[in-house]
Structure 1
Amino acid sequence: MQYNDWTSYPQTGWVQLLDRFFESGTQILNFARNGRSSKSFIAEGRFKKVLEQAQPGDFALIQFAHNDEKSNDPERYASPEKGGEFRKNLSFMAKELEKKGVKPVFLTPVTRRKFVSENKIENSHGLYPNAVLETAAELKIPCIDLTALSTEYFEKCGKEKSRRFFMNFDAGIFENYPDGKSDDSHLRCDGAYSVCRLFVTALLKIKDSWSEYKDLAEKVCIKGIYSDREIDDEKLFW
């Protein structure tokens, strides 16, 4: 698992903190890389590396969309329409993993912090969340709707409080961003921690309807889910 990329700190992918929600000894390998779409992830050979390390009985989380949406970038764009490349890429990865005895789980993308009012976030992902949900249903693979869950959570927090979950901060706070940052797409530690909590809570809810995923759910550390403490960037990185 990759933890500290000090060149982009405090930006934090949510899976970077996921081991805090699982029992000690649970191995989590994070193959995600910033800026990749389902198309470029496959084209660059990154998915091949996933398959090379995958073992029967493993679980694989598959989450794309943010960069697939870039219609002006032919190396990354993948259409979410029925029969489009985005759905084909998801299906390809899931089927290849299943051939190796790996159990895939689809995830819709985390919402962007695009408020249209104090407690209402607009859908900035278009057709992509539904494309993930429909592909999962077609393949009979479980899907956790992090788009809906994160939207509900950030709306509940409100426009101002949710600001700290993303890369929004003034100048002079973080060395890597001397001029500050205003970014409602990429998460900070607090946001990553919150998304982890949404994910594992949802995972526990699907374990009964997807019995073959019960082993994964049973590794969840319940204590982490119900912690209401606020997260400090400096305390999560070392």
Structure 2
Amino acid sequence: MTAQQEQEQEQRGQAGRQDTGRVALVTGASRGIGYGIAQALVARGDRVVITGRNEDALKQAVESLGAGRAIGIAGKAHDEAHQAAAVQHAMEEFGRIDYLVNNAGTNPVFGPMAELDLGVARKVFETNVISALGFAQQTWRAWQKDHGGAIVNIASVAGISASPFVGAYGMSKAAMVNLTLQLAHEFAPGVRVNSIAPAVVKTKFAAALYEGREEEVVASYPLGRLGVPEDIGGAAAFLLSDDAGWITGQTLVVDGGIFLNAGF
């Protein structure tokens, strides 16, 4: 799809969009999977608060999502002050936070676990897991405890299967799956909590896993392609919708069928 076609599609969507009156906070959403999720939510009529570290990228994302539909709060996901500020801005701007999507993450190391720097491992957990808990706590206190809502945590297939050379990332995503279970149990019945475990999605974040050898990587996927952010955006939008009203504590694997090849 060309840039002009994308713009025309967005304009058509805005013209026919219904405002749901609901608000989502999506972390790490200036690009990639987080932005794809924000797009899906705005397209169905939600408003979004997105976070990210790069102010310029965040500004561009907000402009693309549409005036009045989105606001951006820059900061580091693991910073408790940033977490509090994002939730506060959401409440001040929109007066509610129906949905939380914990997408912010990092994977700064590639190599065997025997050589993993423990300081780096701590950083991975701080950003990928502890920050998600912090945002969940802040959102719970500000709105969801009294009004209900839903949370989606972005995990990974690396969190439910051995993934050579990205072990620290995989451990953190396994913890994210368990965090989902814990919060689903504790926040019920008012708040549903689920997670999504994607395989390789074509983003800058995952580029090292496929760039220069995409055909080789794609060959292991029964559906014949890598994921794109829109695939995860649609899954998240469903889990945050009333159609998923009897689903909680689950991890939805969105993997192009790659797990079908396990053991072969």
TM-score (norm 1): 0.48
Identify, as 1 or 2, the structure richer in helix: 2
